[in-house]
Each structure stands twice: as structure tokens, then as C-alpha cells.
Structure 1
Amino acid sequence: MANHSASEDYFQFFGLSPQFSLDLAQLDQAYLAIQKEVHPDRHTQGSDSEQRIAMQMATLANTAHQTLKHPIQRGLYLCKLHGVEANLETNTAMPTAFLLQQMAWRDSLEESADDFAALDALATEVDSAYQAALVELAEAMDRTHNYQRAAELLRGLLFIDKFATELDDAIAALA
């Protein structure tokens, strides 16, 4: 069975470099390799201790995989590894331009609730903003190692992600 320590960070657990820009195929491959090795079904004949360890390792692999797969969760995790808490629940301060953009998107969503083409165009704009935020986040984390700035960007990305979900729901309601 794998000898991965739960005290290792998730990147070490999968044998990956601790960075925001991640090869998701490589992450999935590492996850599947570990799951294949530690899956509890492979250890049904083992001792109670071996079965418990297999279950713990499988659970750790699932948690680590989900955290690293999602960009916002991965970013928050990296910030935490570097001693920076994003404090998403209490720190909602955002630049004025960002807040104005959010209000404009919300107005567009309300005004275009029955217009598929307008909602689709808005979705393209929001996706472009999301992708640009990911690029800026990768720069802050991987290149300049500015985790305070990354935490600020993550707060904004969370707003964009939430709005994109609402927009997707509005589009789906028209289908």
C-alpha cells in the first residue's frame, strides 16, 4: 500500500509541484494511480488496521484531488500553504471598478432574462473575465509569489464564479 503521509501537502501527495498552473491530466493520472493502490476494495482481506489506513488514504486522495482540481480551491489551498488566509467570509472588500462591473453584469442579467442571445453574449464576457482572472492569479502565485495579491484575486474570482453559475442557470431556464 502507498506510504503517503497525511501530513504531506496535497501537491506532495500526488508528486506535483506546488503551483497554481497545474496540468489537470497529470493530476488525474496521479489520483487514479493512488486510488487504484489504496481503494478499500483492494484491502478487504487485510487486517482492520490495513483496511482503516486504506480508507483514510482513499479519503485523503479524494479530498486532495477535489481541492487541486478546482482553480479557486487550489488557489486558496496554495495561499494557506504560504501562510495567507483569504478570509472570504469576512473580507469582502473589492476594488470599485470590479464592483461596478459586477453591478453591470447583474443589470444585464435582469434586463436580458428572456433573451438567449444576450445571455449568451454576457456568458462569453463573463467567461473572458474569469479566464483573465485565472491568468492574473497564476502570475501572482507562480511567478511573483505574491500570495496576498493572490488572495485578493481569489475573492474576485469567487464573485465571478458565483455570477457565472447564476448566469448558467438563467440560460438553462430558457432552454
Structure 2
Amino acid sequence: MDINKNYFDFIGLPISFHVDQAVLSDLSRELQKTLHPDRYAHKSEREQRLAVQYMAHLNEAVATLRSPLLRAQYLLSLQGIDTISESSTAIDPMFLMQQMELREQLEEIPDQDDPFDELESLQDDVTESLEQLREQFAQCYQSEQLDTAAVIVRKMQFLEKLIVEIERLEDRLDG
């Protein structure tokens, strides 16, 4: 085992935006069985420490590869592109205006006659936009249009945050 390998190689997957989640689960489960620190309880301190490090690396790898946004960011980081810093990529002003409008729409939902219906509609729209961005990212990454892929990741970040805000509002309205 080598924790210096990228997450894909560490788990045994091809480097790609599209990851079969069932295969990821199967491979990670097998690695967990092999690497779990309990299996090293009778070994030396060094081997126990390595087992803990391997499990931490595996857990981080799985969490990253399960999330489309984190996976996209990770893929770009492997190419030396930072999409996590807030100022890393300029965003199209039209997209930013749309985001402001969506957030205004979200703020108005509690005052609607049927807030849950409005919330569901907004969530469906945002989820559809997010799916489109994920496909665009996959195409740009595949064709090595990395600057465009970085812009798409930043847009994905906005929509992921909006999904979280929608879920929070839903929880508040339920409570």
C-alpha cells in the first residue's frame, strides 16, 4: 500500500470523473477488510500506525470519489489546478445574477401558499442544472479543456451550496 498514490490508484479505479459507485463501494470494502487497524493490533507500533494512516487515506479517498463535486475538484488538483480557493476562477456575471435570483426565490418560499411545492420545484431545477454541469465537466475534463472545467467546478460549488440551503429551509419548514 502506498498513501502517496492518488485516490483512484489507491482504490484501484481508473482516473475518470465517472465512477461506478457500486464498484467503489466493493473495492473500498475489500480494502477496509485488509487495512483495518484491528487486524494490526498484534503487530508492531509502526505497523499499527501505518494501518491507521492507510484507513484515514482510504476514508478520505472514498468520501472524495463518492461526491461529484469533490471528485471534480480532486481531478483538477491532480492537474495542478486549485478550484477550492474562493478567488481561483472568475465566474460569468450572468451566472452570478442567476444565483442571486435563485437565492431571492429561496428567501420568498416561506411566504408562498404551498412552500413545500415551491421548494421541491426549486430543488428539482437546481438538481437538473447541477446534473448538466456535471456532464459538461466530464466532457471538458475528458477533452482536456481544464480551464473551462475549472469554471464549471466553481459553478457546481454555487449550486451545491444552494442545495444545502434548500435542505436547511425544508428542515426549518418541517420543524
* Counterpart position of 2:126: 126
Given that residues 82 and 88 in structure 2 are in contact (C-alpha distance below 8 angstroms), is that contact kept between their aligned partners in structure 1? no
SS of 1:112's equivalent in the other structure is helix
Q: Deviations over 1:53-79 (max 9, x none)?
A: 111111111111111111111111111
* Counterpart position of 1:108: 105
Given that residues 126 and 160 in structure 1 are in contact (C-alpha distance below 8 angstroms), is that contact kept between their aligned partners in structure 2? yes
* In 1, Cα distance between equivalents of 2:135 and 2:110: 30
Number of aligned residue pairs: 171
Q: Deviations over 1:70-112 (max 9, x none)?
A: 1111111111111222253223521122112111111211221
Structure 2 unmatched runs, 5+: none
Distance change >3 Å, CA 58–CA 17, structure 1 → 2: same
- RMSD of aligned alpha carbons: 1.3
- The TM-score with structure 1 as length reference comes to 0.92
Given that residues 27 and 65 in structure 1 are in contact (C-alpha distance below 8 angstroms), is that contact kept between their aligned partners in structure 2? yes
Deviates more, 1:45-54 or 1:152-161: 45-54
1:46 positional shift: 1.0
Higher relative contact order (CA 8 A, sep 6+): 1
Matches within 5 A, 1:17-166: 17-91=14-88, 93-114=90-111, 115-142=115-142, 144-166=143-165
* In 2, Cα distance between equivalents of 1:38 and 1:74: 23
Percent of matched pairs sharing the same residue = 33
Structure 1 unmatched runs, 5+: none
SS of 2:110's equivalent in the other structure is coil
Q: Which amino acid aligns with 1:147?
A: L
Q: Which amino acid aligns with 1:152?
A: V
Given that residues 88 and 155 in structure 1 are in contact (C-alpha distance below 8 angstroms), is that contact kept between their aligned partners in structure 2? no
- The TM-score with structure 2 as length reference comes to 0.92
